[in-house]
Amino acid sequence: MAHSFNPTVLREYDIRGIVGDTIKEQDAEALGRAFGTLVRRNGGRKVCVGYDGRLSSPSLEKALVSGLLATGLDVIRVGRGPTPMLYYSVFELDADGGIMITGSHNPPDYNGFKMMIGKESCFGERIQEIGRLSAAGDLESGEGTAADEEIFDRYVERILSDVDMESLARADLTVAWDTGNGAAGEVVEAVINRLPGEHILINGDIDGTFPAHHPDPTVEENLVQLQDCVAEEQCDLGLAFDGDGDRIGAVDSAGRIVWGDQLLAILSREVLEDQPGATIIADVKASQVLFDHIAASGGKPLMWKTGHSLIKSKMHETGAPLAGEMSGHIFFKHKFYGFDDAIYVALRLLNEVARTRGGLKALKDKLPQVINTPELRFPCSEERKFDIVPEVHKRLKEAGADVNDTDGVRVNTEDGWWLLRPSNTQDVLVARCEGRDEAALERLKEALADQLRASGIEPPAM
């Protein structure tokens, strides 16, 4: 049964599009057949399937399972929950792969699929292979069986198992948790009912319309409600999660945002105490402060490409016990499985906060202060965004600039650095600038703006 996907949905590290337009139930069923074929030909027999809280997820899950079964695979349905619960189920149940139906942090009309083959991410060329198998109708056939599996309680127990309950009890923290009406709500509620201290859950009801705010903790306006709660309730910190619970955001007791690279710096302390000299990976959007902090702490910093699947693959290759992205994906192999689980990361962060006089505020204050922008996003069509960065790179090299092209272009100057890369999940170009002071930052932003204009993009105010 040949089926061609809309080419825009076959992305670098997942499959994602607009429900009813570029992603339909027949696409989910076709994905099940093509992905199931890959798993079967990889020697696999059973896969896990989970889904997030989006309104379209249950119907896509049903169609996906139908396609998987048609290849002869057995399917374990773990139900609704955050993406890391699905990842955990693949390890816990020793499955041969897994698929999570999730639109992650995209708007409510989006949905998609994050995949594992074996215990590793399915991304890049393998996603393109899924497209080719489906279009050619080169598919396995058979009659698999489906079974429901209660994994929720085991998952909650597992992520709680690395919490330092004694330190938390002594610290007696007050913590605000904002799950943004996303798929992490029920798990976070179960977790905080077991933790010492006072815990306040906001937007905990799973609602695929996201009535409170968009579930993306990297965007400052989405953290305002959490900041207000921290101030009103005099919390020690606040924690926020994206729509499928694999990305984290945080604010300290003063309401200041603690960005993903700062969290990674804070979390690296315990890991490097336990494994001196370990490699710690961060993506190209991360602050130079982080890379310098890791080196000064006795670790080996490694700058790598943005993308949860790409980071996990690099961790596997290097044996790194910890990695992270500016976007709030943080990956613990140290004591855990190496996938991005924002709820688990939150608990490891609480361990660090509990052992630090002054808490998260003091941990943030200890990091060197530089002036940087948050992640900047410039609208750009799906077709054009991948052409612009090579144009910029060519002009910069001709001008003799110091350019790192690990992922997009990261340009180093005496003032600091700026970055431009195409997003793999949205119709945008992503940028970031970091300077030694305000004047330096302005010069960096103007250099970025000049390059965008040279490629026909008028940058908005930064």
**DSSP SS3 for 411:** strand
Angle at alpha carbon of residue 401, lines to 398 and 407, rounded to 5°: 100
Angle at alpha carbon of residue 11, lines to 10 and 17, rounded to 5°: 70
What is the Cα–Cα distance from 343 to 85, expressed in whole angstroms? Answer: 10
**Structure tokens given for 134:** 């489906």
Residue entry with tokens 């940058």: 459
Nearest to 226 by CA among 253, 206, 186: 253
Residue entry with tokens 């030909």: 41
What is the Cα–Cα distance from 351 to 173, expressed in whole angstroms? Answer: 11
Calculated CA dihedral for residues 379, 384, 390, 396, nearest 10 degrees: -50
What is the Cα–Cα distance from 161 to 148, expressed in whole angstroms? Answer: 25
Distance of alpha carbon 340 from its chain centroid, rounded? 6
Contact between residue 235 and residue 175 where contact means Cβ atoms under 8 Å apart: yes
What is the Cα–Cα distance from 248 to 234, expressed in whole angstroms? Answer: 21
Measured from the Cβ of residue 211, the count of other Cβ atoms closer than 10 Å reads 11
Cβ-proximal residues to 150 (8 Å cutoff; 6+ apart), any chain: none
Alpha-helical runs (H) found in 161-278: 165-171, 185-192, 224-232, 260-274
**Structure tokens given for 353:** 């906060």
Instruction: Based on the residue annotation, tell me whether 297 is a catalytic residue of this protein.
Output: no
- Strands 279-283 vs 300-304: parallel, antiparallel or unpaired: parallel
**Structure tokens given for 52:** 């997030």
- Which of 104, 268, 309, 313 does the annotation list as catalytic? 104
Among all residues, which ones are annotated catalytic? 104
